[in-house]
Amino acid sequence: MQFKIITKAFRKFFDDDGTFLASGLAFGLLFYSVPFTLLTVSALSYTAVNSDTALAWIRRISLNLVPHSRELFDNFITDVIARRGLLGLFDFIAFLLASSTMFGSVRLILNRVFGGHAPEFSGIAPLNNSHPPLYGR
């Protein structure tokens, strides 16, 4: 019985091109993680500026993690702190774009696997009621 469940799950996975979908989703997550990481660093830079303890903690971590590149890491932190406003704005816009593509990919994968049919959306509200609205009722 358990063997049948496992074989059906693997068969369904390969019938739905699971390896292809998983690789696409992994690429989307990788693409999404870059602006998320930069946005996190930008947000933490506000903490490092206002707190000498936080800045000392970051420098101590950099000494433990990258002892050979401590000066380079300190210069990077100093640059991030100096440009945190512009960096935060750029990262927020990149984060919105990356997250929208990421969640769009997840929606398409789930529709393909579970056989759902997503309404097409052109970015403009439809003139007739042939398509349901995306925002619910």
- 3-state SS of 63-132? HHHCHHHHHHHHHHHHHHHHCHHHHHHHHHHHHHHHHHHHHHHHHHHHHHHHCCCCCCCCCCCCCCCCCC
Q: Print burial letters for 1-24: b (CB count within 10 Å at least 16), e (below 16).
A: eeeeeeeeeeeeeeeeeeeebeee
Asked if the model's pLDDT at residue 5 lies above 80, the reply is yes
- Kindly report the three-state secondary structure assignment for every residue of 6-18: HHHHHHHHHHCCH
Is 14 a domain residue?
A: no
Lowest-pLDDT choice from 19-28, 49-58, 61-70, 123-132: 123-132
Is 26 a domain residue?
A: no
CA-CA distances (angstroms) from residue 92 to 35, 99, 114?
8, 10, 32
Is 133 a domain residue?
A: no
pLDDT confidence of residue 2: 82
Q: Quote the pTM value.
A: 0.53
Is 128 a domain residue?
A: no
Q: How many CA atoms lie within 13 Å of 12's alpha carbon, on the beta-carbon side? A: 10
What is the three-class DSSP state of 137?
A: coil
Domain count for the chain: 1
Is 125 a domain residue?
A: no
Is 107 a domain residue?
A: yes
Is 9 a domain residue?
A: no
Sorting pLDDT into bands at 50, 70 and 90, what band is 7?
A: very high
Containing structural domain, residue 88: 32-114
What does the pLDDT average to over 92-111?
84
Could you give the CA distance from residue 25 to residue 30 in angstroms, rounded to a whole number?
A: 9
Percent of the chain beyond pLDDT 90? 4
Sorting pLDDT into bands at 50, 70 and 90, what band is 67?
A: confident
Is 4 a domain residue?
A: no
